[in-house]
Amino acid sequence: MGDFSLELGDDQKSVRDWIHGFAADVMRPAAAEWDEREETPWPVIQEAAKIGLYSLDFYAQQYFDPTGLGIPIAMEELFWGDAGIGLSIVGTGLAAVGVLANGTEEQIGTWIPQMYGDVNDVKVAAFCSSEPDAGSDVGSMRTTAVYDEAKDEWVLNGTKTWATNGGIANVHVVVAVVDPELGSKGHASFIVPPNTPGLSQGQKFKKHGIRASHTAEVVLDGARVPGSCLLGGKEKLDERLARARERARGGERVKNAAMATFEASRPAVGAMAVGTARAAYEVALDYAMTRTQFGRPIIDNQGVAFQLADMRTQIDAARLLVWRASWMAVSGKPFTSAEGSMSKLYASETAKKVTAQAIQILGGNGFTREYPVERMHRDAAIYTIFEGTSEIQRLVIARTLSGMPIR
């Protein structure tokens, strides 16, 4: 029987420890301030860029880790540091994944570097899919892209919402409807270059958690982009639409551009949730070991100790689901049981539960902003919502397992 091991390699351990150091020394001391300010922490992103943590090269190295664990290891450590600042650092990655999943080699080489900028001029990017009436229901998307053949340009109109870095991004990746008759199968993704007329920021949202991450509407009013900004190119789009029409007549299901991006990123979101859960658990464990009541540490009470045992067990289980899905993705193994959705579902639910338990263990202190678990609990709420709610994950899993069109 061949050897089996979950032990990380030396390079992976080195990267993990390096990111952990940045999270502990730079992110955590700044976390409370930027949460209160509800602004993008540009100085922290700048520091990440200076050491190569916020860069195309770093994420490419992790993305191509042959075990698939490079990205989840990085995400867990960053979000252990702080979820809001972490999302500001990695939010550009969702747009980059959108280009990697759907773009040509030329588009990847042209646009992804512009998403990050450089050490002296840091930039961010935004992935724009959700709309006021189309969140989980991507089939209700209304933003349109109409091809102007005479000018070889696409004209985009509509409003996107819940866009991380929306409006402040150097590059926006926008999912739009190109064939309304095909529903979600008639979508395509477009690059909107910097300073494109017709793109503007709408409402900036004041949020319950992840407040150091900028979230806003993106308004597209006759925004024109060159034909070369259609991810994958027009020939590929025309072929895909033709197949979609044929399959629609035959009753087959096909994927769309937004779903390709979400499927690729769900285990990474699970890793973010694991990082936040682990951070809250560690605070709660340390508090329970040092806080005394009735002459003994509170961990000496089974009611507290058993909670901590469950918290750690759930965190480790969530991490293993994330690692499995990440390994399957890089190994080219299909998610025949919706393993990507499983990882995101369990990890996100674990983060909400563990952070709530951490507050309970800290008691009144946990309810104040003097301790970080209150912020971690607010941050954890997003994991069961963005990039597919827990309900959508369960729907995906159930449909995959049963083969039935469960509604």
Annotated active-site positions, please? 387
**Both structure tokens of 371:** 């301790």
Of 262, 380, 392, 379, the residue nearest 318 (C-alpha): 380
Q: Which long-range contacts (CB under 8 A, 24 or more apart) does 333-341 make?
A: 335/263, 335/400, 336/400, 337/397, 337/400, 337/401, 338/393, 338/396, 338/397, 338/399, 338/400, 338/401, 340/263, 340/266, 340/267, 341/266, 341/388, 341/393, 341/396, 341/397, 341/400
Contacts of 55 by beta carbon, 8 Å cutoff, 6+ apart: 49, 116
Q: Strand 125-128 relative to strand 171-177: parallel, antiparallel, unpaired? A: parallel
Q: Is there a contact between 277 and 377 (Cβ–Cβ < 8 Å)?
A: no
CA distance 22 to 24: 5
CA distance 393 to 347: 12
The residues with which 121 forms a beta bridge, in sequence order, are: 118
- 222: phi then psi, degrees, rounded to nearest 5: 65, 30
Of 30, 93, 102, the residue nearest 59 (C-alpha): 93
Q: Is there a contact between 127 and 176 (Cβ–Cβ < 8 Å)?
A: no
Contacts of 283 by beta carbon, 8 Å cutoff, 6+ apart: 358, 362, 371, 372, 373, 376
With left for phi above 0 and alpha for psi between -120 and 50, is residue 261 left, alpha or beta?
Answer: alpha
- 377: phi then psi, degrees, rounded to nearest 5: -65, -40
Q: Which long-range contacts (CB under 8 A, 24 or more apart) does 309-314 make?
A: 310/357, 311/277, 311/281, 311/284, 311/353, 311/354, 311/357, 311/358, 312/281, 314/277, 314/350, 314/353, 314/354
